[in-house]
């Protein structure tokens, strides 16, 4: 067993991992930068280590993290999600240092991180692929291959970074002129973002749904799936709302999950991961990518299956086989997750760091909160703007939507702008209520950004702040 776990991340995912580790009796170590010294994850771990002045750079410094693990006597490291979890050098260096890496080995991260290699592996076992190219060579040869591909398949076309992931490194073009300009820009963006300028092309699918399958695999070759998630509601390829299950027709659901298991076995996959697909209007599905880490949206799968995915990650990393079989997994009900950020949707979702003067959250049956803020906490400008992930569960879609509406109304957050009013507008929108959406949903509903702050609510919050300033905090004033 793992005795002490260093969590190489911050914020809500660090707290999430710490909770599962503590349930298994594993001691936990948090790391932090000096600029993040008031973060909540530090308080939740058994011990904490400052790994540098920050901001941001030390959280990504593998050598500093491994040194902290050795100094504190940790025997395992969990990367959470984010850039570090996708770096194939991290598990290699952990292994060389005698540490258990909670996640896939480096060769799997490397192969699945390369979209071109991943596509070849999927093709070898008959997983459906979107028409695409291999790596495009730089210069005139690459441009010629791109032109030939466009002439054969038509527009739209997606220019993708080979090393991209999580919605990053994607550029959509709709004409030959845009394609030729986009090739150079995409290479530059890929080099800056991922340290690798390799790009390739894929045929764009109009109005697809983005559906992913959660998988778990142990070191004995056992691979299972935990059903689907619909992640179609996105902004600039970044997921905003996630739903489990995806409500595909039963046969399509069965086939896409079977394809995900087949893909994982072909890749020799170990630990938790997600196989992602695009589904067209005729319910044909195509492989998109494999995310070799715990996903932000794993909570909806946990809600409908009752399985703690992080717990299974830790047990697999410790050498145990999966604690259940495929036939033991049943999907019940419907779960919806959304990310409440300190952002201003009306200003292009610009981050709004600042002091949280009041923080009250909803509760009750079917509501889960994964957050890392507290009343009096100042959201730093150096890190992501996530306040809390809200996940709700219902017996069916309608109950889940009703509960989501009630939960959003139950928040009182004063001091920073949030995305809550934007989500309230979505919950009241007819297409959302009728579960009619695809990846074009946000762009095709610009009226969602026309929400109005209720004057009475603003007045209420202003009076509340005045009350707190004058007499101290009293929950009965809310």
Alpha-carbon distances, residue 132 vs 153, 204, 274, 287, 460 (angstroms): 9, 10, 21, 11, 55
19: annotated active-site residue: no
Partnered with residue 225 across adjacent β-strands are: 215
- Written as six digits, the tokens of 239 are 């997921």
Give yes or no for a contact between 212 and 286, defined as CB atoms under 8 angstroms apart: no
d(CA 60, CA 410): 36
Phi, psi of 247 (to 5 degrees): 65, 35
Residues in contact with 398: Cβ distance below 8 Å, sequence separation at least 6, in sequence order: none
Contact (CB, 8 A) for 173 and 179:
yes
Return the bridge partners of 113, or none.
none
Q: Spell out where 152-270 has E strands.
A: 157-161, 170-173, 199-203, 209-217, 223-230, 234-235, 238-239, 241-244
Coil vs helix vs strand at 20: helix
Give the H or E element holding residue 204. none
Going 307 to 309 to 310 to 311, the CA torsion angle's sign is positive
Which single residue is written with the structure tokens 């992501």? 384
- Token duo for residue 306: 């009752």
Q: Are strands 27-33 and 4-7 parallel, antiparallel or unpaired?
A: parallel
Q: Which residue has the tokens 């929400």?
A: 451
Which among 244, 213, 120, 232 is positioned nearest to 167, based on CA atoms? 232
Separation between Cα atoms, residue 294 and residue 228, nearest integer Å: 15
Peptide bond into 436 cis (omega under 30): no
Tell me whether the omega of the peptide bond preceding residue 371 falls within 30 degrees of 0, making it cis.
no
Burial 263-275 (b: 16+ CB within 10 A, else e): bbebbebbbbbbb
Q: Pick the catalytic residue from 293, 368, 381, 435.
A: 293
Q: In this structure, what is the dihedral angle of CA atoms 180, 183, 189, 193, given to the nearest 10 degrees?
A: 160
The helix (H) or strand (E) run that includes residue 289 is: strand 285-291
Contact (Cβ atoms closer than 8 angstroms) between residue 172 and residue 160: no
Catalytic residues: 293
């Amino acid at each position: 067993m793992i005795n002490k776990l260093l969590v190489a991340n911050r914020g809500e995912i660090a707290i999430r991992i710490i909770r599962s580790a503590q349930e298994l009796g594993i001691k936990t170590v948090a790391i932090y930068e000096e600029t993040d010294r008031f973060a909540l994850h530090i308080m939740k771990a058994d011990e904490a280590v400052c790994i540098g002045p920050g901001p941001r750079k030390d959280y990504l410094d593998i050598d500093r993290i491994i040194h902290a693990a050795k100094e504190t006597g940790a025997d395992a490291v969990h990367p959470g999600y984010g850039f570090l979890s996708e770096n194939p050098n991290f598990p290699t260096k952990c292994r060389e240092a005698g540490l258990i890496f909670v996640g896939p080995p480096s060769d799997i991260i490397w192969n699945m991180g390369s979209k071109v290699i991943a596509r070849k592996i999927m093709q070898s076992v008959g997983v459906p692929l979107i028409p695409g190219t291999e790596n495009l060579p730089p210069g005139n040869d690459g441009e010629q291959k791109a032109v030939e591909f466009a002439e054969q398949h038509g527009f739209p076309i997606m220019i993708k970074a080979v090393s991209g992931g999580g919605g990053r490194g994607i550029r959509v073009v709709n004409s030959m002129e845009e394609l030729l300009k986009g090739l150079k820009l995409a290479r530059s963006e890929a080099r800056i973002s991922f340290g690798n300028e390799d790009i390739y092309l894929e045929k764009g699918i109009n109005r697809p749904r983005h559906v992913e399958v959660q998988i778990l695999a142990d070191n004995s070759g056992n691979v299972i799936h935990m059903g689907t998630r619909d992640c179609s509601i996105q902004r600039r390829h970044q997921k905003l709302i996630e739903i489990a299950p995806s409500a595909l027709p039963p046969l399509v659901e069965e086939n896409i999950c079977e394809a995900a298991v087949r893909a994982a076995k072909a890749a020799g996959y170990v630990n938790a991961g997600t196989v992602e697909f695009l589904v067209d209007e005729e319910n044909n599905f195509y492989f998109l990518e494999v995310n070799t880490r715990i996903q932000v949206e794993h909570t909806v799968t946990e809600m409908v299956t009752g399985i703690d995915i992080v717990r299974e990650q830790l047990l697999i990393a410790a050498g145990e086989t999966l604690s259940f079989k495929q036939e033991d997994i049943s999907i019940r009900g419907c779960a919806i997750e959304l990310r409440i950020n300190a952002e201003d949707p009306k200003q292009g979702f610009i981050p709004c760091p600042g002091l949280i003067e009041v923080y009250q959250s909803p509760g009750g049956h079917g509501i889960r909160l994964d957050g890392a803020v507290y009343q009096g906490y100042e959201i730093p400008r150096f890190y992501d703007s996530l306040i809390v992930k809200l996940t709700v569960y219902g017996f069916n879609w309608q109950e889940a939507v009703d509960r989501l509406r009630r939960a959003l109304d139950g928040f009182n957050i004063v001091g920073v702008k949030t995305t809550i009013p934007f989500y309230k507008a979505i919950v009241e929108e007819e297409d959302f209520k009728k579960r009619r959406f695809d990846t074009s949903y946000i762009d095709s509903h610009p009226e969602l950004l026309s929400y109005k702050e209720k004057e009475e609510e603003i007045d209420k919050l202003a009076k509340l702040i005045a009350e707190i300033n004058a007499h101290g905090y009293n929950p009965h004033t809310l």
